Structure 1
């Protein structure tokens, strides 16, 4: 039996290395930098970390936003409002969901909690967008408001027009 060609093995290793370099690492989330909409001290919920999966996001595919936060008050009911902007002022998406759903049960007691929001947003092709996320107590006031950049992958999916 002949020994395998070393040049064949080297080519396989080189091809695998190129694939690892070119493909985005979407298996795990990376924390993104965020800013509060106004001074943090005015909010009853403090945000510690925002993760986006996949990272970078892929156009027209579900995007998961994981938020680590804490509250100093009981939250009995609320909503999560998300807006996506291009060039700062052009709103491309707006949607609101109930805060107390899935793994989040109300009342949320004072202390640490995690929020996971999955959104399916039909966005036009671009390099990044700005997301504004507001947690609001139902019928009352903003619990927190943050904004952050939403990076898009190198190979966005093709838009489908009907």
Structure 2
């Protein structure tokens, strides 16, 4: 016999399973699988996941190195299917504390316009050193939800 309380508890669990994840660790691939990059990336966390249009999204990259990174660039390219839709180049020291040594985290936040199409995207992120040497190059996917946030009045 199913009681009202057990039914409500089961319904609540089902609803929670249908909600999008607030944060998730994303799989990362190196651009060149055979290259020994000086900066090793252990993961990317995207908050929220899926990304919502009009809401700030934060990409946190966990990395490590045996180098002493005091300056450089972070080059970000975003593709929607096969189309390049966005590019950005930043000073690496605005995304992490410099000098970056040992274990460190890069953090990048972006608010996507409400007209951004929903679907699957791919980011390629290159870390370049002082003399534009490639410290690391990764790619990972993310998705933008189909529902835009609703403004409450």
Normalising by structure 2, we get a TM-score of 0.80
RMSD: 2.5
Q: Tell me which of 103, 120, 124 is aligned to 1:112.
A: 103
Q: Give CA-to-partner distance per residue, 1:106-146, whole Å, 9 cap, x none.
A: 2223x211121112233621221111111112442121110
Deviates more, 1:14-23 or 1:132-141: 14-23
Once the two structures are superposed, the pairs formed by residues 7-156 of structure 1 within 5 Å of their partners are 13=9, 16-26=12-22, 29-39=23-33, 41-88=35-82, 90-101=83-94, 104-109=96-101, 111-122=102-113, 124-156=116-148
Q: How many residues align?
A: 148
Normalising by structure 1, we get a TM-score of 0.76
Give the whole-Å Cα distance in 1 for the aligned partners of 2:109 and 2:130. 20
Local SS of the residue matching 1:147: strand
Give the whole-Å Cα distance in 2 for the aligned partners of 1:125 and 1:157. 14
- In structure 2, runs of 5+ residues without a counterpart are none
Give the whole-Å Cα distance in 2 for the aligned partners of 1:121 and 1:80. 19
Local SS of the residue matching 1:20: helix
- In structure 1, runs of 5+ residues without a counterpart are 1-6
Equivalent residues of 2:118, 2:143 under 8 A apart: no
Give the whole-Å Cα distance in 2 for the aligned partners of 1:95 and 1:157. 25
Give the whole-Å Cα distance in 2 for the aligned partners of 1:56 and 1:40. 30
